[in-house]
Chain A
Amino acid sequence: MAGAAQHAVPRRFLPWRVRPQPGALPRWSLRGVALLYLGLFVVLPVVAVLESGFGDGLTNLKDAMASFGAWKAIRLTVVMAVLTAVINGAFGTLLAYVLVRIRFPGRELLSAIVDLPFAIPSLVAGVMLVALYGPSSALGGWFEDHGLEIIFAPPGILLALLFVTLPLVVRSVQPVLAELDRDEEEAAHTLGSGRWTTFRKIVLPALRPAIAAGSLLAFSRSLGEFGAIVFVAGNIPNKTLTAPVFITQLINVSPDQAAAVSALIFGLAFIVVLVTEKLISRHSDRYSA
């Protein structure tokens, strides 16, 4: 950005028309278009949700929470989101480590496969899990014989969420690990600390903000996931009904009540995303300096 302030030719010697301007297009009209776009498409809908949900105080929220299966749906969603964040936090970090630190044939392919969930429709991910673990499939039948239901049960929900959120953690940890200065690790190693100690005392603390950021993104995505879950869960009230599916059903009954519950969940997810952005930017400030 420092270069932007310096002009090759002193400003006053240039005719007005060709004077370097901040931005190649007129500044005010650009700002106007950007603000109008985000205002109409983002701010307005959010205001509509808040107004409809809480225009009458907390009545809508109370009514919504009193309806059948509401509490359990929200609890299930939060529990599943936490489990997803923890499991993918660990395995996402492992994958990032493998992709950055270990040379092996097919590394590029593995890196592309990790992005698969970004490209595959989440509904198709759900169909995939039903195909593989569904009661009519060989694998699903075997699990059922051994007393483990996967599809139409919480394990299926968890698998779907793990599938959808894996790249979020890997892509958050990978660049930080790649930039990490190895001098400290070398030093620790030279001083005789073992591999595990070096990883735990040197690498892990440096990665912690990135792992937290990736896990929080996975958590917030899991709170709202619909497509991957709608097949897999079976949506049985009080058992496998998740909050997003519950909201879908509530919209038909009372959009205002649905808005109140949505605002609650969305508020949680958005705060998490903001915290994540902070973690990432604080980290990059520290390391780019």
Chain B
Amino acid sequence: MSSQAHTGRGVRALLLGLALTYVVVLLIAPLAGIAYYALKPGFGSIVDTLQLRDVQHAFYLTAVIMFVAVVVTGVLGIVVALVLARDRFAGKAVVSALVNLPLAVSPVIVGLMAVLLFGTAGWFEPFFAAQGIQIMFALPAMILVTIFISIPFVIREVAPLLEELGMDEEQTAWTLGASRLQTFFRITLPNIRWGLLYGTALSAARAIGEVGAVLIVSGLLQGRTETATLYVLRAFDQYQEEQGYIVALMLAGFSILLLIGIETFKRRSARAVS
């Protein structure tokens, strides 16, 4: 580490101190603040909050939406990644840009998209109304907007991985007579599993935390279309800060677990390539 010698001890300590201060003030202190307010009323009130029917339903709804969004964007994400990494056709660059598009779209605009397609006077509203299927202000719209937001994560992790890994192993399997599905499940999937898990964990985090888009399409029916984040939003609006802080802290705790998974998967995924 000869270049470490170039940067003197004092300068290094200064840079490190500055960086740590920024992280503590910006990221750690607010987390401590929320933990303080959530835990202040005591253990009993946490138990009481978790027994509220609305709270339980909110977590249940968040789990259902996350699960469906993660499965759909995971499975179809692998397909898109395969196409991006291995297929050649005119307009592939456009497909690649489309994958990144949801990252640029505000969640609020995603909610608006659902309103324009499925809301009153929306493009598909007559069709689904005729079938008697409720999309807006119900679970289907909430799942659809969450899928839109989660689309990029798996694809952005898996596509570069596939490109890096090449196809030698698959071709060997093919030459030895393995079927397409065998090749996929025995070779491709194990090779990309850490990248896939990393992307999935990122999507899950995004799906759990989504609020803007879900807020617009949910119709805010208390105890029916209220996810955990929407519960927090209402709790603060109605001056039930205690419950709001507790549910928010639980969401933060779950996110930190996910983060540990994210960091592990990221490291494994990087190792798998090298």
Contacts and interface: CB of A to CB of B under 8 A. Distances in A.
A121 B37 contact: no
A63 to B, nearest CB: 16
Contact of B251 (A1, A121, A132): A121
B112 interface: yes
Interface centre among A8, A52, A94, by most chain B C-beta atoms within 10 angstroms, is: A52
Interface string A103-125: 11000001111111111111111
B129 interface: no
B105 A185 contact: no
A49 B82 contact: no
Contact of A266 (B1, B11, B104, B167): B104
Contact of A244 (B115, B188, B212): B212
Contacts, number: 312
Given A18-B174, A121-B229, A224 B166 contact: no
Contacts of A245: 108
Contact of B105 (A26, A130, A224, A255): A224
Given A14-B175, A119-B256, A121-B208, A132 B86 contact: no
A129 interface: yes
Contacts of A97: 15, 19
A159 B29 CA distance: 12
Interface centre among A3, A129, A227, A245, by most chain B C-beta atoms within 10 angstroms, is: A227
B151 A113 contact: no
A224 B117 contact: no
Interface in B62-92: 76, 79-80, 82-84, 86-87, 89
B22 interface: yes
Contact of B23 (A4, A110, A119, A159): A110
B15 A94 contact: yes
A177 to B, nearest CB: 12
Nearest to A270: B104
Nearest to A167: B27
Contact of A24 (B80, B119, B166, B184): B184
Contact of B117 (A35, A45, A98, A223): A45
Interface string B113-142: 111110100010000000000000000000
Contacts of A19: 174
B66 to A, nearest CB: 11
Contacts of A18: 174-177
Interface residues of A, number: 103
B106 A269 contact: yes
A226 B3 CA distance: 43
Nearest to A255: B115
A102 B16 contact: yes
B16 A26 contact: no
A9 B23 contact: no
Contact of B172 (A8, A37, A122, A137): A8
A137 B33 contact: yes
A191 to B, nearest CB: 12
Contact of B20 (A31, A110, A272): A110
Contacts of B110: 45
Nearest to A194: B6
B51 to A, nearest CB: 21
A286 B208 CA distance: 38
A94 B12 CA distance: 11
Given A45-B116, A124-B229, 14 more contacts: A20-B171, A20-B174, A24-B184, A42-B151, A114-B23, A118-B205, A120-B252, A123-B233, A128-B34, A217-B103, A221-B103, A225-B106, A227-B229, A277-B97
9 contacts: A24-B187, A37-B79, A41-B148, A42-B98, A42-B151, A91-B19, A110-B23, A113-B28, A244-B107
Interface of A: 1, 3-4, 7-9, 14, 17-27, 30-31, 33-35, 37-38, 41-46, 48-49, 52, 91, 94-95, 97-98, 101-104, 110-125, 127-132, 137, 159, 162-163, 166, 182, 185-186, 189, 195, 198, 217, 220-221, 223-227, 230-231, 244-245, 247-248, 251, 255, 258-259, 262, 265-266, 269-270, 272-274, 277
